Every structure is written in C-alpha cells, then in structure tokens.
Chains A and B, each alone.
Chain A
Amino acid sequence: AQSVTQLGSHVSVSEGALVLLRCNYSSSVPPYLFWYVQYPNQGLQLLLKYTSAATLVKGINGFEAEFKKSETSFHLTKPSAHMSDAAEYFCAVSLSGGYNKLIFGAGTRLAVHP
C-alpha cells in the first residue's frame, strides 16, 4: 500500500527565505504525487502534480517540486517566501493508472515571519 510521510508538522521561515517542505512516499509501483495547499477555512487547492512526465514540476505561486525516485522524495520548494504563503501544505500519493484514491500526508503548517 502506498503512504506519504511529511517531515515536520510546523515549518517557520522569514519572508524572502527559501521554503523547503519535505515529503517522502512509499509505493510498490510508480506513483502519482501531488502537493496541495489549504488556507484557513478553505478547501484544498492543487499546487502541482507529478504524473511520470518531467521530474521537476512547476506549480502555481512560484512553487516547484522534484521527483527523486532514488530517494523516494517529492520535496516542495519556493526560492523566496511571501507572507501570503502561510498555510498548511499536504503531500499526497496515488498509484498510477486506473482509479486510485489520493492518500494524504499529515500536513505541514508553514509560518512566514516578517
């Protein structure tokens, strides 16, 4: 069965600093990988997805993630944090092909300080 581990339930950065949110997955077959963001009192919004094309995936709001099979990782990065990036971020995995539900990690709450 597939699973996702997000390292660090809380991450705090200064405005303008690099954002790095870590995600490691477990899957017996090639996975699809996703990052979602949840702002307070809102639903989840898709940031980016990896579906076996390019390993470096660019998403919305300046975020990107790199699929590294050897490390079973899909870390989310942004070169320069903005105050508006403060939110909860979820990594998710599913099996490629067919109809397969998304399995979410526990989430990482990102705080951005002035």
Chain B
Amino acid sequence: DSGVTQTPKHLITATGQRVTLRCSPRSGDLSVYWYQQSLDQGLQFLIQYYNGEERAKGNILERFSAQQFPDLHSELNLSSLELGDSALYFCASSPRQGSNYGYTFGSGTRLTVV
C-alpha cells in the first residue's frame, strides 16, 4: 500500500457519459498529480494541484477538469466520454511542489468506455 488511494479501481461506462475519479494523497502530501496511461500515448501528465490550487497543466482535454479540496483529496472529472478516453488514470502525490521528493503513485483507476 503506497498510501495514495484511488477509487474506483475499475469503471465501465458508455460514450457520452461523465465520470469522477477520486484520489486521496498520502498523509502529509500537499501536491497531487494526475496522469493518463494508455498503450499508444504512454504516461501523459494531465494536471497538478498544490494545497488546493492548480499549479501546472499538461495535455488535459477541455472535457476533463479537476480540483483539489480543502482536505487535500482530488477529483478528476471526465465528461462527454469517447472510446479513446479508455485508459489507466493515475494519481500521485508528493510532500511539496518540487519533484525532487519523487512522487508516490496510487494503483490507478482503469476506465473503459464502451
């Protein structure tokens, strides 16, 4: 157990639907990062939050959004889902903003869009 909790572990939904992925960071970590892992794109950085504020954006689609709440958990919202959104979505956390601490990853949410 890495200390980063992601729910649900698996999600199957239809095209056009909206889903919410949840992440609880490791105790004491203030930064949360979301990554998408797919066979064709590899690990792609989506977005980073630090202590409730958005800090960096990567290749995140406009249909996707995220937020970090006062208790530091984060949610990734995916809407108007397409078949190509099927992937593993990872959340990671770190103590502060700097990457030198390394990230602690959760076990991921596998999203299947049918």
Contacts and interface: CB of A to CB of B under 8 A. Distances in A.
B94 to A, nearest CB: 9
Given A43-B4, A45-B2, A101 B99 contact: yes
B43 A104 contact: yes
Nearest to A50: B100
A89 B105 CA distance: 14
Given A32-B100, A99-B55, A45 B42 contact: no
Interface residues of B, number: 27
Contacts of A14: none
Interface string A27-53: 000001010100001111110010100
B106 A101 contact: no
Chain A interface extent, by class:
20 to 34
A45 to B, nearest CB: 7
A101 B4 contact: no
B25 interface: no
- Those 5 A-B pairs whose CB atoms lie nearest each other, nearest first: A99-B97, A43-B105, A94-B99, A104-B43, A44-B105
